[in-house]
Chains A and B, each alone.
Chain A
Amino acid sequence: MSTIEIQELKKGFEGQPVLHGVSLAVSHGDIYGFLGPNGSGKTTTLRILLGIIPPDAGKVAVLGLDPATSGPQLRRRVNALPESHGLYGWMSALSYLVFFGRLYGMEFSGGDYRACLRRVGLDPDDSRPIRTFSRGMKQRLGIARAMINAPEVLFLDEPTNGLDPRGRREIHDLLLQLNRVRNLTIMISTHILDDVERLCNRIAILDHGLVRYEGPVHPEAGRQLRYRFHLGNGGVIPTPWEFQGISLLDHQDSWITCAIEGRSPAEAIATLIAGDLPIVEAIAVTDDLEALYLDHTTGGVS
């Protein structure tokens, strides 16, 4: 059973339809990218999944619960980082976290809250008001708040919006760590493709309220892997090519491009090295996510 299941979800505001029948499924432990232009319905979908707004039609289940009827019960087990930070500028980071911890009824000690702040790279002894924080610090505090109830599913709406490259990388590393260490299911709504490339294993592309693509980040990844190898022997390859499960797609100078089927890249590299091909560099070849995105979207909704 999927952690998140949506079937034929429809929602409109003041007679204007926003979601026309969205269907998707997110498995346990996935980092799922939810892509689409501004106004395509991403935030509306997330709010329905969190039970903040009700759907007009369709079936929605998160952790087996219907958000429309079991909102408070569901929100004890999931959490979210909305696009806006929603921080109280006059509070300190620690008092903000304690406030939300108590709203969730968490029986934490002061040390537990301080550990939560340290986990996201914030200093628990920093007593400055939140309004003096940088955008990256605010985002980290937002993530600490979103993790305060040890959620099983985390929803993130544009988590790296407005951050500089270093700040984005730090947020990426933090989310990957949370996913690996706690096997946390994460659903990220974004239109920043770099976030998706770095974080997600599956995506849905939403446009004008419909899912236009649902599947792996790189469509061919489910079937075969493609790698470019740099050979240390100047590009000499055996003829005929007789490596089982490794097809030669291209050969230019000291670089070869291969498709790998039925084995891992590490096994394929070991096979090639054993076959007297001195591989000094290996690069995964991917279809361009940007092209995939552009193929499936027609622009934002004004």
Chain B
Amino acid sequence: MKVWVPLVKREFQEDFKASRGMAFFLIAALVLSAFAVLLVSNTELSLLDNTQAVYMMAGIVLALAALVAVIRGSDGFAGERDRQTLEPLLLTPINGPGLAAAKLGGIVFSWLTLFTLAIPYLWAVGSTGQNFFAAILYLFLAGTLIVLSFGGVALALSARLRTFKGVLSLGLTLLLLLGSPVLLGPSLRQSAVGRVLDLANPFAAALNTLDSVIIDSQGLSWQLLRLAVMVGYALAVLWWLYTATRRLEP
């Protein structure tokens, strides 16, 4: 357990010391700033009440979190393979699942940084509205489960496929596919197919949870099924990640 600590620390340090890591947060800050400005200055958007503004901003944070998880996960093994830095790690006594756990820990740290970065923006657009603290709490919960799921899938693909670009393309396609039901219109979402797609999709489950908590002020009991879907996905992905990294090749 102790030997994983430097690995997680290195993943975290890479966010701040390597130029690529800093770029993530700079882009995230720019996106959040742009949306915050739109929410307060755009004629139509500025008419939204605070809870809706917080919901929109939370959705953007969630989408950014999934995107960062896919990019970081794709880089996890395939990127290291491209940069030829994977082999020295494989020469250490740490096994594949141990390396994967450390890398997933690094992705969760990136999410925590993004979450911390997002709080002032959420505060700026919705601190005076109701359910603000519940929004923060459920964003953290849903975001962590989404990051574990998408980051885990990207890491597992990264362990199996050879190049970072290949893994990233596949990861982003998967993210778009899982995100697309969210774009369905209200009538289509009420249909049987729409409801199944909505329920079976972890990304939709996360957004619907935020909608339910922030807009509809519903309590924990209303969220249990959707949380169970997200936890189920996360556990299935972690199992897949474990099996995919048992034999890592340089």
The chain A residues found within 8 Å of chain B, CB to CB, are 47, 50, 52-54, 71-73, 75-76, 79-80, 82, 84-88, 90-91, 99-100, 102-105, 145
Contacts and interface: CB of A to CB of B under 8 A. Distances in A.
Interface size class of B (residues with CB under 8 A): 20 to 34
Interface in B177-219: none
Contacts of B19: 90
A71 B95 contact: yes
28 contacts: A50-B91, A52-B87, A52-B90, A52-B250, A53-B249, A54-B247, A72-B93, A72-B95, A73-B93, A75-B92, A75-B93, A80-B91, A84-B87, A85-B84, A86-B87, A86-B88, A86-B89, A88-B10, A88-B85, A90-B17, A90-B18, A91-B17, A99-B10, A100-B88, A102-B3, A102-B5, A103-B94, A104-B3
Contacts of B89: 86, 103
B93 A76 contact: yes
B6 interface: yes
Contacts of B17: 90-91
B92 A86 contact: no
A293 B3 CA distance: 43
A103 B18 contact: no
Interface of B: 2-3, 5-7, 10, 14, 17-19, 84-95, 247, 249-250
Given A72-B94, A104-B93, A86 B84 contact: yes
Nearest to B86: A86
Contacts of B5: 102
Nearest to B90: A52
Contacts of A84: 84, 87
B92 A100 contact: yes
Nearest first, the 5 A-B pairs at minimum CB distance are A84-B84, A102-B6, A86-B88, A72-B93, A82-B87
Contacts of A71: 95
A170 to B, nearest CB: 21
Given A53-B249, A102-B5, A86 B94 contact: no
A100 B89 CA distance: 8
A47 B10 CA distance: 25
A103 B2 CA distance: 9
Contacts of A86: 84-89
Nearest to B85: A86
A85 B92 CA distance: 15
Given A54-B247, A90-B14, A103 B86 contact: no
A196 to B, nearest CB: 23
B99 to A, nearest CB: 10
A28 B169 CA distance: 49
A175 B29 CA distance: 50
Contacts of A105: 2-3, 93
A54 B248 CA distance: 11
A127 to B, nearest CB: 13
Contacts of A75: 91-93
Of residues B5, B10, B92, B94, which shows the largest number of chain A Cβ atoms within 10 Å of its Cβ?
Answer: B92
Interface centre among B3, B90, B94, B247 (most CB of A within 10 A): B90
B82 to A, nearest CB: 11
Nearest to B83: A86
Nearest to A103: B92
Given A47-B250, A82-B87, 7 more contacts: A86-B88, A88-B14, A100-B92, A103-B3, A104-B3, A105-B2, A105-B93
B249 A52 contact: yes
Contacts of A50: 91
Contacts of A53: 249
A82 B87 CA distance: 7
A191 B128 CA distance: 71
A129 to B, nearest CB: 9
Nearest to A82: B87
B105 to A, nearest CB: 14
Given A86-B84, A86-B87, A103 B250 contact: no
A86 to B, nearest CB: 4
A42 to B, nearest CB: 14
Most chain A CB within 10 A, of B6, B88, B249, is at: B88
